[in-house]
Amino acid sequence: MGLLEPQHIILILIFLLSIVICPVWGYKAGSKRTIGSTGGLLLSLFLGVFGIIIVYLTKRIDEQQFYNLNNQFNNQSGADELKKYKQLLDDGAITEAEYRTQKAKIFNGRF
C-alpha cells in the first residue's frame, strides 16, 4: 500500500483545481470583464467552477465601453451633432456632400 494511491492522486488534483487553477482562471477572465480581476478571483476561489461561470456571464469591458459610447452619442443634441459635422467638414475629414447628408438627417429627425 503506497503513499500515492489512485484515490489520493484524484484528491490532490481536485484540491489543485479548486485552490490554484480556478482562482487564476477567474482572475484572468475577470480582468477582461466588468466584474474585475479581484471579483473573478474571489468568485472562483469560493465557488470554483461555478464562480468562473458567473464571471463569464458578466459583460465584457469592451461591450460596456461600446454601450457607454453609444449612449453618450445618442444623448447629444442635434445642434451638437451639427457642430461636430461642421468641424469635420472644416478639417477636411468629410466632403460637402457628406456634411449636407448628415445635416438633412439631423433636421429631418432621422438621426
| pLDDT surpasses 70 at 13 | yes
Residues ≥6 apart with Cβ < 8 Å to 104: none
| pLDDT surpasses 80 at 25 | yes
Residue (of 86, 109, 108) closest to 99 by Cα position: 86
* Buried residues in 44-74 as b, exposed as e (16+ CB within 10 A): bbebbeebbebbeebeeeeeeeeeeeeeeee
Rounded to the nearest 10 degrees, the angle between the axes of helix 36-47 and helix 49-57 is 150
CA angle, residues 21, 23, 29, in degrees to nearest 5? 100
pTM: 0.49
What is residue 41's predicted lDDT score, i.e. its pLDDT?
92
Average pLDDT over every residue of 29-55: 91
Asked if residues 48 and 22 have their Cβ atoms less than 8 Å apart, the reply is yes
* Domain ranges for the chain: 6-59, 76-108
Average pLDDT over every residue of 104-109: 80
